[in-house]
């Protein structure tokens, strides 16, 4: 069984992606994907938000005025990127948990990821030595 500390929470990864795209991937320690999502949201914002809507000073009032001045296409594009990021983080966390569980059960090789027979002491695909669950019982 996989320890609870090694499991990732898919819902938490998705919520972090809602806070800022890429944060869910940072939680999952997927650094390249996190950088891609960070860059994509910045690129989308810089391409879609007109210069006239960007405030010169950063105050709460100026940010509220900016949000009101943003065109609908910019809001839709930023929302789409954020939504896709959340789905990607959720699916990635779920798959990571499933893979970790299969490795812990002894039905998947931790090195190559292929399915193995739990009776063998090595992976017949990549010849990696497997931890035998039966050896612990003896």
Q: pLDDT of 60-114, one tens digit each?
A: 999 899 889 899 999 999 999 999 999 999 999 999 888 777 766 667 777 787 7
Question: What's the whole-model pTM score?
Answer: 0.71
> Do residues 33 and 98 lie in contact, with contact meaning Cβ atoms separated by under 8 Å?
no
Nearest to 121 by CA among 137, 103, 135: 135
> Do residues 106 and 116 lie in contact, with contact meaning Cβ atoms separated by under 8 Å?
yes
DSSP 70-120: S-HHHHHHHHHHHHHHHHHHHHHHHHHHHHHHHHHHTSB-TTT--B--TT-
d(CA 63, CA 56): 10
């Amino acid at each position: 069984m996989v320890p609870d500390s090694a499991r990732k929470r898919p819902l938490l990864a998705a919520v972090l992606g809602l806070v800022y795209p890429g944060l869910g991937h940072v939680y999952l320690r997927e650094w390249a994907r996190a950088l891609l999502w960070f860059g994509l949201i910045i690129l989308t914002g810089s391409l879609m938000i007109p210069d006239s809507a960007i405030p010169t000073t950063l105050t709460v009032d100026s940010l509220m005025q900016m949000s009101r001045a943003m065109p609908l296409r910019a809001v839709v594009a930023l929302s789409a990127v954020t939504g896709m990021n959340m789905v990607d983080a959720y699916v990635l966390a779920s798959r990571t948990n499933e893979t970790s569980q299969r490795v812990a059960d002894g039905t998947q090789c931790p090195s190559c990821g292929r399915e193995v027979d739990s009776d063998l002491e090595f992976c017949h695909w990549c010849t990696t030595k497997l931890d035998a669950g039966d050896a612990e019982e003896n």
